[in-house]
Amino acid sequence: MLTYAADRLWEEAAYVAYYLHWSLDSILDLEHPVRRRVVDEVGRIHRRIAEGE
């Protein structure tokens, strides 16, 4: 069974891979704070596009 942290890591990796087309190795090489920042920024961009800005 995966822990919450492992589940969250896979969720972040899938999100970044889907939107930025980065390899799993590239994503996993990021330090956690950097990976979270990338996820947050992609989310902001996605929301702006969805809202038509």
Separation between Cα atoms, residue 37 and residue 39, nearest integer Å: 5
Residue 10 CA to residue 46 CA, distance in Å, equals: 19
- What's this model's pTM, rounded to 2 decimal places? 0.81
Domain ranges of the chain: 4-50
What would the pLDDT profile of 1-12 be if each residue is shown by its tens digit?
A: 567 688 999 999
Q: Are 24 and 12 in contact (CB under 8 A)?
A: no
For 13-30, the pLDDT digits (tens) are 999 999 999 999 999 999
Q: Let me know: does 11 contact 43? Beta carbons within 8 Å.
A: no
Residue type at position 22: W
